[in-house]
Amino acid sequence: MPLSPEQQAEIDAQRAQATPTRRAVSAGMEKHLYTAYPVLDHGFVRVIDYMGDDAAICQAARVSYGRGTKSVQNDEGLIRYLMRHWHSTPFEMCEVKLHVKLPVFVARQWIRHRTANVNEYSARYSILDREFYIPAPDALAAQSEVNNQGRGAALAGEEAARVLRYLTEDAMRAYDHYEEMISTEGQQGLARELARMNLPANIYTQWYWKVDLHNLLHFLRLRADAHAQYEIRVYAQEICHLVADWVPFAYRAFEDYRMGGAVLSATALDCVRRMLKGEEVTFETSGMSKGEWREFEGVLESAN
């Protein structure tokens, strides 16, 4: 279960409270506060707090104390300009704090983004729950033959069943031993900080993750991408829905210039110019490596 009864009771109590404020409020984000959105089989994402909105980005860019005579259309145009020209500091004026429940192996990939404040559930002080990520059958895939860090064709039949059985049985066995080590009858059990080393990487952990909008969008650009690992991508996609409601102008600009756009090298731009002049450019005449040419072709195909 993604939420324990105690967590749900806490969330219900928090949602029942309403506090007047003079600070900037995003109506889109207010509706998400304290709501846990399920991800994977036992995980979730929920907004604990946030600061700022689209207007805060514009205010920081103009370094003013109010909206003045600027219109909503001007605000959106300014945000698109800032995004288009890679101005980062105005976006850093907005922050969000998320409560995330996720498998440990996803957390270790996520923590590589060292631009946030993180406080994780401690297995030194508390006992972890018996909750493990077990992939759905359609999420099981063989190693990719062209990408050393990606997946290939899906597993099926006996092979898929065998893998799921191993994942489930091994996780349960490791947790059984974890429980035995920390609660040995008749004698003092092993310290929790040592017993946790035997737990598998698919056990769930939780953390509070606070990040500014600029660094959050960088995280989403990488992790919501189709090439990202599925298990972290579904978390990023859920966060995208939250950000789209929180700062709609900024998110639309992000989709346009970052998620839907492409950055070309000087060599690639030269190839585009030659193509526009009618020249047939091939890998052999492009001046690119095989990997660069393959990515360049991908950009051209996505533009058609």
Catalytic residues: 223
CB count within 10 Å of CB 158 equals 8
DSSP string, 77-118: HHHHHHHHTT--GGGGG-EEEEEEEEEHHHHHHHTT--SSEE
Categorise residue 284: left if φ over 0, alpha if ψ from -120 to 50, beta otherwise. Answer: alpha
Three state DSSP letters for 243-295: HHHHCHHHHHHHHHHHHCCCCCCHHHHHHHHHHHCCCCCCHHHHCCCHHHHHH
Torsion angles phi and psi, residue 53, rounded to 5: -155, -170
d(CA 125, CA 271): 59
Q: Within its chain, how far is the Cα of 76 from the centroid? A: 25
Place of tokens 């969330």: 11
